[in-house]
Structure 1
Amino acid sequence: MEKLELRNVKLQWLNGGVTHLDGGAMFGVVPKPLWSRKYAVNDNNQIELRTDPILIQAEGKNFLVESGMGNGKLNEKQKRNFGVLEESSLLPELEKLDLKPEDIDFILMTHMHFDHACGLTKDSEGELVSVFPNAKIITSQIEWDEMRNPNIRSKSTYWKENWQGIEQQVETFEKEWSFGPIRMIHTGGHSDGHSILVIEDEDITIVHMADIMPTHAHQNPLWVMAYDDYPMTSIFAKEKWLEFGISKDAWFTFYHDAVYRAVKFDEGGKITQTIERKK
């Protein structure tokens, strides 16, 4: 469990499972000879993408950023198509930290695509119930609306199995939500309701750009995914928040990156510090 400890805030990465998605889709129009220099690719043209929630402890509260792949949500065909070689170990890892699902106070959902939201619910005697019954689940109003009423494109990633059973726990916001040192800011881009996180603890800043910069290899503002619903919005948001973070010597943290949990960039885009994922 890799950690990033600030003065008043502690982050810890937990195992939420893994996917292996098509590298071309993950890097959009960027030619493979370029992106494959920066991120490993297998013989099936797939890249490894973690789905590892971040436990944030601050202000006496336990926050989870995303919920992982969950368990038992995907059939064998889906596991094969999405390269899911392991499902979530989130609950056993929380137990190692002497935490129960009931101890989670907030779940911060940057967006609610299946690879972020499958861990929110589980089957209990044929009924979908919340995995984290005491948590407030925070996401943007736009995201929550589309989650429940997806369009012809997004219905493949917004699954009713991931929202039925948690409706009473969801709290939405329009532009920004905050608690203590943590802010969620709506950006759009990857999805219409996509949000990022900014954590400011005294003079230390963390920027979690979620899926507008899913890995360190997506640092170039123009390198956006074919999965992005609004790629130009992603480009503008990434450009804005990279500039903000670099100006503050911020850590940029990741949910999907198979190599790094967090990095710092200099003004030229070069990585200057890292927290590597232990394999």
Structure 2
Amino acid sequence: MKVETLEIGRAKLTWLNGGVTHLDGGAMFGVVPKSLWSKKYPANEKNQIELRTDPILLQLDGKNILIDSGIGINKLTEKQKRNFGVKEESRVESTLASLNLTVNDIAIILMTHLHYDHACGLTKPVKEGYESVFPHADIYVSQIEWDEMRHPNIRSINSYWEMNWKPITEQVIPFEEEIEILPGLSMIHTGGHSDGHSIIRFKDGDHTFTHMADIMPTNAHQNKLWVLAYDDYPIKSVHQKEKWMKICYKEKSWITFYHDAHYRAIKFNEHGEKMDQVERKWYSYD
């Protein structure tokens, strides 16, 4: 099994196989014309673009940490698989096994937000309902996101599912605006994509990475004005992306991706030009 890794200071990042969706390209790029976005991210004959749902295993200071959890397995109906373009469900456990790890070794999970394509991997079906996939993990998420997960509004109810939160209630550690998880590793509430959306920042001297999650879901969303039709608060996404991209350019920070089907991480210089990259390889299974 092929996996991509990246070492940044004292942190090691490994991308796990969390499944894949194919969503409408127009929805993923909002008001941007297809003639523009399709030059940067290819679409299929149905106008869908491939979007990975691959958690990042962050190994830091002796802790195994996940960034988001994947699309899950045996959670979606056939209709949902068709509508969301799910061609492959999560293989997180087998990817961990290839690294000599199990779900019991995951100590911390950082949930940027709790939409189904990020949170379905937190739980699994059992005879009596659902249970936690990572029973020993502390699960961090913003308080706003956790509140909305449990009490969704008329728009968000289609993205926040009870089976993804009820089994993990005792594991969740909500935070307000910002929290330091380990020295140099922080979660920061941004809003935008969802009201409770957060990004993840790591800084170790001159070594940094920024996980923008769904305010920059792919490399093709580098333009600060290219935001998703799925965003609940698109103007906030624009302002937050503008703010953090400036910081990333100045620091020459790695930007990491959960959804991008082509790149795992990209480093830009102070002019926003690509300096370095980690391309996604194709997984192979025996």
- Structure 1 match to 2:52: 50
Partner of 1:146: 148
- Separation in 2, partners of 1:234, 1:77: 30
Match in the other structure for 2:129 = 127
C-alpha distance in 1 between matches for 2:9 and 2:246: 24
Counterparts of 2:88 and 2:272, CA distance in 1: 33
Match of 2:35 in 1: 33
What secondary structure is seen at the aligned counterpart in 2 of 1:73?
coil
Q: Deviations over 1:8-52 (max 9, x none)?
A: 110000000000000000000000000000001000000000000
Deviation at 1:96, TM superposition (A): 1.2
Q: What is the aligned partner in structure 2 of residue 210 from structure 1?
A: 213
1:264 pairs with one of 264, 267, 275: 267
* Cα distance per residue 1:167-199 (max 9 Å; x no partner): 000000000111222110000000000000001
Q: Secondary structure at the match of 1:241?
A: helix
TM-score using structure 1 length: 0.99
SS across alignment from 2:40: coil
Q: Percent identity?
A: 62
Deviation at 1:251, TM superposition (A): 0.4
Q: Which runs of 4+ in 1 moved over 6 A?
A: none
SS state at 1:93 partner: helix
Between the aligned partners of 1:160 and 1:7, the Cα distance in structure 2 is: 38
| Code of the aligned partner of 1:76 | E
Alignment partners' CA distance in 1, 2:178 and 2:239: 18
Amino acid at match of 2:188: I
**Runs of at least 5 residues in structure 2 that lack an aligned partner in the other structure:** none
Shift of 1:270: 2.5
Q: Secondary structure, in 3 states, of the residue corresponding to 2:101? A: coil
Q: Show CA shifts across 1:72-96 (max 9, x none).
A: 1110010001000000000011111
- Partner residue of 2:253 out of 250, 255, 272: 250
Equivalences for residues 232-251 of structure 1 within 5 A = 232-251=235-254
Report the secondary structure of 1:163's partner residue.
Answer: helix
Q: How many residues align?
A: 279
User: Equivalent residue for 2:69?
Assistant: 67
Q: State the match for 2:117 in structure 1.
A: 115
Q: Distance in 2 between matches of 1:110 and 1:183?
A: 11
Q: Which moved more, 1:5-14 or 1:228-237?
A: 5-14
Match of 1:80 in 2: 82
Which residue identity lines up with residue 245 of structure 1 in the other structure? C
* CA distance, structure 1, for counterparts of residue 13 and residue 205 of structure 2: 16
State the 1:217 CA deviation: 0.2
TM-score (norm: length of structure 2):
0.96
Whichever residue aligns with residue 80 of structure 1, its letter is R
- Alpha-carbon distance in 1 for matches of 2:140, 2:128: 26
Q: SS of the residue aligned with 2:58?
A: strand
1:21 to 20, 23, 26: 23
For 1:7 and 1:235, locate their aligned partners in 2 and report how far apart those are by CA, in whole Å. 29
**Separation in 1, partners of 2:60, 2:211:** 16
Quote how far apart the aligned CAs of 1:215 are: 0.2
User: Residues of 2 paired with 1:52 and 1:94: CA distance?
Assistant: 12
> Are 2:20 and 2:71, in contact at CA under 8 Å, matched by a contact in 1?
yes
CA distance in 1, matches of 2:277, 2:253: 12
